[in-house]
C-alpha cells in the first residue's frame, strides 16, 4: 500500500477513544479516588472560585485552602475566605487554632478537627473545608454509574504546563438522578494520575415562596497547585509560631449565642420536652404524638460540614431501623427552608425522613442546642437516652441498639466505625 494511503488511514482513526494505557473514564475516576482514600499522608492546596446568580444578580467568592496531614495526629489546615481566615495546627500533642483577622489563638491538647461537640465559627469555615479536601477527592466517583472522556488537554497550573485526561459527568450519570442539572469536569494529570482541576456548572431553582421559584446558575472552579500523596512533610509544618502581637486566649467565644445558651445542660435521662414540628404546608405534629415509639432527632444545617458528612451514614442507618419502628426527624437551622431541598438535590444526598425548619429557634431552645450536629434519641416512653452534640455514627448505633431487642443488630456495624 502506498505511504500516503497509510498516513491517511492513520489520521482517520478515532483520536478520542481511550488508549490501552488508560481504563474507561469511570474506572479512571474510581482509581484516582481510591488513591486519595488510601493516602495516610498528603499535602493538598486548592484555590476555589465560585460565582452564582441569575440575570438580575450575581455573587463571587474565592477561597484558599491548604491541608497537610501526617500520621499520629499531625495536621495543618489553613483557610482564607471573605468570611474569615484561620489556621489549625496539631503536632500530635498540642493543637493551635489561630484567627488571622483577630490575631488571636488558642492552645489545647491535640484533638480531631473539626472537634466533636464544638460549635463551628465563621472564621474557620474555610479551614474546615480544607480539612475535607482529601475526603472530597476520594469521593469523586461515589454514586456514579457512568462518565466520559473529553479530548486530552494541556492546562496551566501554578505556571506549570500539565498534560491531562479530561473526564466529564452530569446529573444523569448518578445512580439516583436529581432534579437539578449539574455538569462536572475533572482534569487528571496523565503522569501522576492526580486531580489538578475541577469545574462544576449547575442550574437549579430556589424557592422564595410556595408559588415563586427563582432560577440560580452556579459555576465553581477549583485548581490544585499542590497535590502530594504519601510524602513526608517537615516537622515545622505542624508547629504554630504566633505572629507578632498575637493574643493567646483560652477559647474563642461564639458571638451568635447568648451566654445562657452556652451553659445549657443536656437532657439525657430526662423526659423529652414537648415541642411541635411545623411543615412547610402549615401542618403541625407534636413530639408526644409518637409516644409508644422511639424517636431520633437530628439538628443540623447545610453550612455545617460535619452535619452534611453524616447524611450518607444516617440514610443507611435509617434503612436499617425504620421497619423496627424508629421514628426519624431532622430539624434544620438554615436561614431559609427552601435552601435545604435545593442543597440536598445539588449534592445528590438523600434524606428520606421528614425535615422541619426551626424558623424561630424554639425547637433548638427546647433541646438546649449548643452546637450541631446534635443527635437526640428518645425511647418509647418519652425519655431522652442519647443527647450529644458533634456525635459520631458509631455512638448513635450503640445507643439505638439499647432501645430493645429488635434493634440489637444495629450495633454490629458500629465496631468498624470507631
**Is residue 397 assigned to a domain?**
yes
Domain housing 370: 259-417
Q: Say how far apart CA 82 and CA 61 lie, in whole Å.
A: 7
The pLDDT, as a whole number, for residue 309 is 86
Higher per-residue pLDDT: 302 or 31: 31
**Is residue 191 assigned to a domain?**
yes
The pLDDT, as a whole number, for residue 120 is 65
CATH number at residue 171: 2.50.20
At 258, the pLDDT band (50, 70, 90 cuts) reads very low
Which residues contact residue 182 at a Cβ distance below 8 angstroms, ignoring those fewer than 6 apart?
A: 170, 171, 200, 201, 202, 203, 346
- Assess contact for 123 and 84: CB atoms under 8 A: yes
**Same-domain pairing of 36 and 118:** yes
**Is residue 319 assigned to a domain?**
yes
**Same-domain pairing of 275 and 229:** no
**Same-domain pairing of 233 and 97:** yes
Q: Say how far apart CA 352 and CA 238 lie, in whole Å.
A: 41
pLDDT over 50 (residue 296):
yes
Q: Residues 199-217: pLDDT tens digits? A: 999 887 654 444 456 777 8
pLDDT over 90 (residue 16):
no
87-105 burial code (b ≥16 CB/10 A, e <16): bbbbbeeebbbbbbeeebb
**Is residue 110 assigned to a domain?**
yes
Looking at 208, 238, 268, the residue that finishes a domain is: 238
- Which of 15-29, 48-62, 92-106, 135-149 holds the top average pLDDT? 92-106
CATH number at residue 328: 3.40.30.10
Place of cell 469545574: 199
The pLDDT, as a whole number, for residue 342 is 78
pLDDT over 50 (residue 416):
no
3-state secondary structure of 208: coil
**Same-domain pairing of 94 and 148:** yes
**Is residue 139 assigned to a domain?**
yes
At 13, the pLDDT band (50, 70, 90 cuts) reads very low
**Same-domain pairing of 53 and 196:** yes
Q: Which of 414, 389, 398 is nearest to 115 (CA)?
A: 389
**Is residue 166 assigned to a domain?**
yes
The pLDDT, as a whole number, for residue 80 is 96
**Same-domain pairing of 181 and 296:** no
**Same-domain pairing of 298 and 214:** no
Q: What is the largest CA-CA distance in the chain?
A: 91
The predicted model gives 235-260 an average pLDDT of: 80
**Same-domain pairing of 57 and 201:** yes
**Is residue 403 assigned to a domain?**
yes
- Which of 143-157, 176-190, 301-315 holds the top average pLDDT? 143-157
- Which of 53-57, 207-211, 219-223 holds the top average pLDDT? 219-223
**Same-domain pairing of 174 and 271:** no
**Same-domain pairing of 224 and 321:** no
Overall number of domains in the chain: 2
- Which of 139-143, 214-218, 337-341 holds the top average pLDDT? 139-143
**Same-domain pairing of 140 and 171:** yes
DSSP string computed for 76-108: EEEEEETTEEEEEEEESSEEEEEETTTTEEEEE
**Same-domain pairing of 225 and 272:** no
pLDDT over 60 (residue 395):
yes
**Is residue 10 assigned to a domain?**
no
Amino acid at each position: 500500500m502506498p505511504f500516503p494511503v497509510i498516513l491517511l488511514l492513520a489520521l482517520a482513526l478515532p483520536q478520542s477513544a481511550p488508549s490501552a494505557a488508560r481504563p474507561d473514564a469511570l474506572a479512571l475516576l474510581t482509581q484516582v479516588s481510591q488513591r486519595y482514600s488510601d493516602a495516610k499522608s498528603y499535602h493538598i492546596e486548592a484555590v476555589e472560585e465560585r460565582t452564582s446568580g441569575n440575570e438580575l444578580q450575581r455573587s463571587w467568592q474565592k477561597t484558599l485552602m491548604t491541608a497537610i496531614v501526617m500520621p499520629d495526629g499531625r495536621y495543618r489546615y489553613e483557610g482564607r475566605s471573605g468570611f474569615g481566615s484561620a489556621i489549625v495546627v496539631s503536632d500530635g500533642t498540642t493543637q493551635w487554632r489561630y484567627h488571622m483577622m483577630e490575631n488571636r489563638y488558642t492552645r489545647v491538647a491535640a484533638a480531631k478537627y473539626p472537634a466533636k461537640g464544638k460549635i463551628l465559627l465563621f472564621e474557620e469555615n474555610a479551614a474546615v473545608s480544607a480539612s475535607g479536601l482529601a475526603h472530597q477527592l476520594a469521593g469523586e466517583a461515589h454514586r456514579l454509574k457512568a462518565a466520559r472522556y473529553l479530548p486530552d488537554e494541556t492546562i496551566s497550573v501554578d505556571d506549570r504546563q500539565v498534560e491531562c485526561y479530561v473526564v466529564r459527568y452530569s446529573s444523569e450519570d448518578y445512580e439516583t438522578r436529581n432534579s437539578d442539572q449539574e455538569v462536572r469536569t475533572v482534569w487528571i494529570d496523565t503522569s501522576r494520575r492526580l486531580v489538578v482541576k475541577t469545574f462544576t456548572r449547575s442550574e437549579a431553582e430556589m424557592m422564595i415562596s410556595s408559588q415563586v421559584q427563582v432560577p440560580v446558575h452556579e459555576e465553581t472552579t477549583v485548581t490544585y497547585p499542590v497535590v502530594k500523596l504519601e510524602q513526608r512533610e517537615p516537622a515545622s509544618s505542624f508547629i504554630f509560631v504566633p505572629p507578632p502581637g498575637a493574643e493567646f486566649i483560652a477559647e474563642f467565644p461564639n458571638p451568635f449565642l447568648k451566654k445562657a445558651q452556652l451553659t445549657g445542660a443536656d437532657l439525657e435521662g430526662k423526659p423529652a420536652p414537648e415541642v411541635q414540628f411545623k411543615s412547610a404546608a402549615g401542618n403541625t405534629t407534636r413530639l408526644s404524638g409518637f409516644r409508644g415509639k422511639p424517636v431520633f432527632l437530628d439538628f443540623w444545617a447545610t453550612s455545617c460540614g460535619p452535619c452534611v458528612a453524616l447524611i450518607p451514614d444516617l440514610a443507611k442507618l435509617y434503612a436499617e431501623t425504620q421497619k423496627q419502628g424508629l421514628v426519624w426527624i431532622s430539624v434544620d437551622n438554615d436561614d431559609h427552608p427552601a435552601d435545604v431541598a435545593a442543597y440536598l438535590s445539588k449534592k445528590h444526598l438523600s434524606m428520606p425522613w421528614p425535615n422541619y425548619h426551626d424558623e424561630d429557634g424554639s425547637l433548638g431552645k427546647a433541646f438546649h442546642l449548643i452546637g450541631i450536629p446534635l443527635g437526640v434519641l428518645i425511647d418509647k416512653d418519652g425519655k431522652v437516652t442519647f443527647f450529644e452534640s458533634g456525635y459520631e455514627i458509631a455512638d448513635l448505633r450503640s445507643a439505638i441498639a439499647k432501645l430493645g431487642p429488635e434493634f440489637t443488630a444495629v450495633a454490629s456495624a458500629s465496631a468498624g466505625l470507631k
